[in-house]
Amino acid sequence: TCCDCDWIYDCFVCLKRRKETMDQLLEFFTQISDAIDDTCADIPPNELEIEGRLGMYSANHKKFSSNIGELFFKKIQKLLSYIPLANLNATQELIDQKDFFSGALRLSVCNNQKKCIEKRKLCTYGLTSPNLCMDVRIQVSHEIERPLESFPMNDLHTLFCRTKKRLRTTLDNVHI
């Protein structure tokens, strides 16, 4: 019947959009993978941070907000819960960390351990698409541990502070 034809057409359009989206994502990640290899060839792996975020770019593509809302967060969390962590030798730990920021320096305090990190942002890649419900931003940074004395400890009360309390999953030095 005509109704069945409409349903089949809608399914076809949906599958075509999904394939186009997957093709776009594959192309995006292939391009940035090659660029990252070129940019980061001389950086020790333990000092390289590649951070991927989901969110939305502003209309002028200048600002990125990673606040995806609780609904999408719960959907992603549920999806990740299906990963068989034990079979993959992955670990999970609760993170309760405070980060203080002073220019390119970050003081991280976690479990009474302090670490001073200098973060040098190397490059940022963004993907927006009408086929995606969210935008993707990949930021590549060189993170160098510095002596604690490098951080202005006397100014802690005036500096921006971010508190992180979350469950972190680690697999082959990749944190989720």
Instruction: Take residue 88 and report the two structure tokens written for it.
Output: 């993959």
Alpha-carbon gap, residue 161 to 99, rounded angstroms: 6
Tens digit of pLDDT for each residue in 35-62? 888 888 889 988 888 888 888 888 776 7
Q: Judge contact between 146 and 105, C-beta under 8 A.
A: yes
Residues 6+ apart with CB under 8 A from 141: 48, 49, 51, 119, 120, 121, 122
Q: Judge contact between 115 and 143, C-beta under 8 A.
A: no
The reply to whether the predicted model has a pTM over 0.85 is no
Alpha-carbon gap, residue 170 to 174, rounded angstroms: 5
Residue 50: half-sphere exposure toward Cβ, Cα within 13 Å: 14
**Residue 99 vs residue 24, higher pLDDT:** 99
Residue 170's pLDDT band, with cuts at 50, 70 and 90, is confident
Q: What is the mean pLDDT of residues 103-131?
A: 89
Residue 102's pLDDT band, with cuts at 50, 70 and 90, is very high
Q: Which amino acid belongs to residue 36?
A: I
pLDDT at position 1 is 44
Would you say residue 3 has pLDDT above 60? no
Residue 143's pLDDT band, with cuts at 50, 70 and 90, is very high
Q: What is the mean pLDDT of residues 91-102?
A: 88
Alpha-carbon gap, residue 27 to 113, rounded angstroms: 41
Would you say residue 20 has pLDDT above 80? no
Stretch (H or E) spanning 167: strand 160-171
pLDDT at position 8 is 66
Residues 6+ apart with CB under 8 A from 72: 54, 133, 134
Q: What is the mean pLDDT of residues 116-135?
A: 85
**Residue 13 vs residue 168, higher pLDDT:** 168
Mean pLDDT computed over every residue of the chain: 82
pLDDT at position 120 is 93
Torsion of CA 21, 26, 27, 28, to 10 degrees: 90
CA angle 27, 28, 29 (to 5 degrees): 95
